[in-house]
Copies of this chain bind each other. A is one copy, B any other.
C-alpha cells in the first residue's frame, strides 16, 4: 500500500499509508513494560512527568528496547531488567513474557511487550537515568485498586496498562 513519510523528526516520524496517518518511532526496535511484584505481594509502579501530557503520569516501569547506540539488538528481557533497575532500583531473578500488543492501534505502530518479574528486591536507588524524575511506588496488590481510585480522584492520570498488569499479577 502507498506509504508516504509526511515528516521526519529526530525521534518520531509521521507516516501516511493509503488515507491513514500514524506515528512511528525512529530510535527503538520495541517497547517493554514490566509487571514486577515483590515476594510480599506488592506491585512496583512509577510516577514521572510526561511532556506530551503536561503532567505526571502513574505507569508500569517501562522503556525502549535497543535505543542505545551499539545495542540495537538488545533482547526484550535484558531491556526489561535494565529498565526495572534504572527506574525503580529493584532487581528480580524470575522473568517471563506475558503478552505483546499495540498501545494505540489507530495512531501508531508501536507495540509493547509486557513482561512479568517476580520476587523483586530493592538493590539500588532507582529514579531513572539522566534527566528522568521518577518516583517509585510499591503498592500491595490487594489494595492497589483502592489506592489507584484514590489517586485518580485527586486528578492523577493513570496509564491503563497498570490495570492490565494487575490482572496478570493476580494470576501469575
Contact = CB atoms under 8 A, between A and B. Distances in A.
Contacts of A101: 57-58, 157-160
B164 A102 contact: no
Contact of A23 (B17, B51, B108, B161): B108
A85 B166 CA distance: 29
Contact of A9 (B11, B21, B157): B21
Nearest to A15: B52
Given A21-B12, A51-B22, A102-B53, A163 B168 contact: yes
Given A6-B9, A52-B109, A53-B105, A164 B171 contact: no
Given A9-B6, A10-B21, A52-B105, A161 B164 contact: yes
A50 B102 CA distance: 10
Contacts of A157: 100-102, 111
A171 B166 CA distance: 12
Nearest to A59: B105
A108 to B, nearest CB: 6
A99 interface: yes
A138 to B, nearest CB: 19
Interface of A: 1, 6-7, 9-18, 20-25, 33, 50-54, 57-59, 99-112, 114, 145, 148, 152, 157-164, 166-168, 170-171
